[in-house]
Amino acid sequence: MTNPLLSNWTTPQEMPPFDEIEDVYFKPALDAALTEARSEIAAIADNPQAPDFDNTIRAMELAGETLGRVLRVFFHISAIDSTPERESLQKEFVSALSAYNAEITGNEALFARIAQVWEGREDLGAEEARVTDLTYKSFTRAGAALRGTDKDRMTEIKARLALLGTEFSQNILADEREWAMPLTRADLEGLPDFVVATARAAAEERGVTGHIVTLSRSLIVPFLQFSPRRDLREKAYEAWVARGANGGETDNRAKAAEILALREERAKLLGYASFADYKLEPEMAKTPEAVRDLLMQVWEPARAQAEADAAVLTSMMQADGINGDLEAWDWRYYAEKRRQAEHDLDEAELKPYLQLDQMIEAAFDCASKLFGLSFKPLDTALPHPDARAWEVWRGERLMAVFVGDYFARAGKRSGAWCGSLRSQDKLKGDTRAIITNVCNFAKPAAGQPALLSFDDARTLFHEFGHALHHMLSDVTYPSISGTSVARDFVELPSQLYEHWLEVPEVLSQYAIHAETGEPMPQALLQRMLGAATYDMGFQTVEYVASALVDLVFHEGTAPEDPMATQDKILSDLGMPHAIRMRHATPHFAHVFSGDGYSSGYYSYMWSEVMDADAFAAFEEVGDPFDASVAEKLETSILSAGGSAEADLLYKNFRGRLPGVAALLKGRGLDKAA
């Protein structure tokens, strides 16, 4: 029996043959790929020739190709369609991979060769020197220079962290999968048609009759916005924020404490004062102090705006005859009422104009105007029936394959993300990326168009900005391809691309009513854009609070009780009563499901400082699609991957680094006291 994960793929554009891949193939494919990768690494380490770039660094870039291919397919499928069998495999895989990675970074002969090439890196070309430097530093930061018991302990820590991160993520998914709130006919009163339809579709997807609310953001947020039933809002909200903190096997609180303690120990083994110092060293921010400085510059005006808004919302609630404090499950409901009153803007009125298919076309069209890309539907097997694929071309050159998977469903990881099933490189020809955008929008009833909120549409553009970073990548080595950049720089292309959603000519063309086919009226368009910074105090406070908690968790001694520490941090900040962290510790997947955003959740805001300034480059020439500025953006940032330090890449584009003023202005907080 041929294992499709190990065979040559003759599918269109060498896409993974998803229609042939079954769970039974993953374990033998991983075993075979690990054996092959170990053999390749051993050949490099044991090479009798003197180490040079080609026989050491370049050879490492080529090693593990089959392993990478198997893992990208497996982890993508596991994220978008989790099952108990796949969750069990995932735990087994992360343990095997942790051991494999420890073998590599612990291979003293291999590290000696890397160090020798690194010492002579000044004689290499720019890209080769960069890859060599990053390789050497990744080994030292992984503990390659450790010896004896310290080395053994580092291996143990990394193995345990890999397993804990996987379990943390799976626990959140389990809580999301298990909870649903049935709605009676009376419970539906006051809800817009699109919320009712989404609740009905959610019930159908779970195989039950009637209507339900799930913990999918695309359903629970509009329910909190529109349901007049305060008791149901409270029940739904408390379930949403309790993910990972419900007791029993899926409770993440003890896991968070252990993760933080192990991270601190890991950093100190490497000689760092704290995990934050270790983690931030290769980022643009460099130090915890720089991160805190940025976040506090934003916190004070955001908190002031949020407190002023809370007073208005409280008076509205009391006018409804409800005494007492404004609560977290009240905010979105009264904020939506206020938006309707002050901006004459009703999300139920907006949604028919924001069709998913039209917003996809809008994102494609902007990429065409800016970078000359065209998109052709690709007929091939895909990882889920909801997914769709396109070839991305520039003239006669294939630039990428793009896969979109947009709808929420049970078993799918929450949130939105961009991934890759193949990265761009030039090691063996012009290899182009296969990119995935995964979202969790509400799936419509059969035969009905999918309608988005403006925030949903912004998410679509955001993730497509990440995809462009992959599509336009033009480097030789896979380790610096696409989004392989500093964590606090990686969000720049994505957040920058969001700006094109607000370009009036884009919305005038693509914001088309689902029933009438008429474009959004100019008056409604202007009201929508005019309300772009509405409720920004709330949005900024819930985000910055999460980023500050993340920072404090990692910049000192690991807390024995993260929940008590979280509460103290928020109290010291003066967190408004009716606003909670965007991600409370037990479901803070960015920080605890892996090391990616640990000590790094601030990075969205760090990148936002740049994205406001970067879009200003187009505004300064009076054309959001100016060809010369777009070309400079591509050559300086989007095509460059991680081929240079992030601050240098940005300076190549704008000539300097920006300050926080543009961010505050963009969020409408520049006048908040």
Residue 662 pLDDT level (bands cut at 50, 70, 90): confident
pLDDT tens string 539-567: 999 999 999 999 999 999 999 999 999 99
Do 372 and 317 have their domain in common? no
Residues 358 and 333 in one domain: no
- Same domain, yes or no: 188 and 85: no
Strands 417-422 and 433-441, sheet pairing: antiparallel
Task: Say if residue 342 is in the same domain as residue 366.
Answer: no
Here the tokens at position 639 are: 């095509």
Calculate mean pLDDT across residues 39-64.
98
Q: What is the pLDDT of residue 670?
A: 85
Pick the last residue of a domain from 221, 242, 263.
242
| CATH number of the domain residue 408 falls in | 3.40.390.10
Any idea which of 242-246, 396-400, 441-445, 510-514 has the lowest mean pLDDT? 441-445
Question: Is residue 326 domain-shared with residue 442, that is, in the same domain?
Answer: no
Residues 135 and 236 in one domain: no
Per annotation, catalytic residue among 87, 463, 491, 542:
463
554 touches 260 (CB < 8 A): yes
What is the predicted pLDDT for the residue at 445?
A: 86
42 found inside a domain: yes
pLDDT digits (tens, 9 = 90+) for 411-450: 999 999 999 999 999 999 999 999 999 999 999 988 899 9
Assess if residue 195 is contained within a domain.
yes
Model's pTM, two decimal places? 0.95
Q: Which of 118, 145, 172 is the last residue of a domain?
A: 145
pLDDT band, very low/low/confident/very high, at 672 (cuts 50, 70, 90): low
Q: Distance (Å, rounded) from C-alpha 447 to C-alpha 449?
A: 7
pLDDT of residue 671: 76
Cβ pair 77, 58 in contact under 8 A: no
Judging by DSSP bridges, how do beta strands 374-377 and 388-394 pair with one another?
antiparallel
Q: Is residue 229 part of a domain?
A: yes
Three-state SS at 592? helix
SS (H, E, C) 515-557: CCCCECCHHHHHHHHHCCCCCHHHHHHHHHHHHHHHHHHHHCC
CATH number at residue 299: 1.10.1370.10
- The answer on 461 and 571 residing in a single domain is no
Q: What is the DSSP letter of 54?
A: I
272 domain-assigned: no
Cβ-contact 569, 548 below 8 angstroms: yes
Amino acid identity, residue 107?
A: N
Q: Do 471 and 593 lie in a common domain?
A: no
Q: Distance between CA 59 and CA 351 in Å, rounded? A: 52
pLDDT tops 70 at residue 280: yes
Residue 28 lies in a domain: yes
pLDDT at 346: 86
**pLDDT tens string 264-277:** 999 999 999 999 99
361 has catalytic annotation: no
- Residue among 465, 500, 496, 497 at smallest CA distance from 483: 465
145, 172, 206 — which closes off a domain? 145
Is the pLDDT at 337 greater than 60, yes or no? Answer: yes
The answer to whether position 498 is within a domain reads no
Give 59's pLDDT tier (boundaries 50, 70, 90).
Answer: very high
Residue 500 within any structural domain of the chain:
no
**Distance of alpha carbon 357 from alpha carbon 184, whole angstroms:** 32
Number of domains in the chain: 4
- Range 100-125 average pLDDT: 97
Please state the three-class secondary structure of 115-162 as a single string.
HHHHHCHHHCCHHHHHHHHHHHHHHHHCCCCCCHHHHHHHHHHHHHHH
Residue 673 scores a pLDDT above 60: no
Length of the chain: 673
Average pLDDT over residues 231-251: 97
Nearest CA-CA partner of 579 in 603, 624, 544: 544
Tokens of 387: 């997914």
User: 551 with 647, same domain?
Assistant: yes
The pLDDT, as a whole number, for residue 627 is 98
Residues 385, 360, single domain; the answer is yes
The partner residues of 438 in beta bridges, in order of sequence, read 405, 417
- Domain that residue 475 falls in: 352-484
Query: What integer pLDDT is reported at residue 472 of this predicted model?
Result: 98
Q: What percent of the chain has pLDDT over 70?
A: 100
Regarding whether 342 and 360 lie in a shared domain, the answer is no
Whether residues 555 and 642 fall in one domain = yes
Using one digit for the tens of pLDDT, what is the confidence trace for 142-175? Answer: 999 999 999 999 999 999 999 999 999 999 999 9
Mean pLDDT for the stretch of residues 2-23: 96
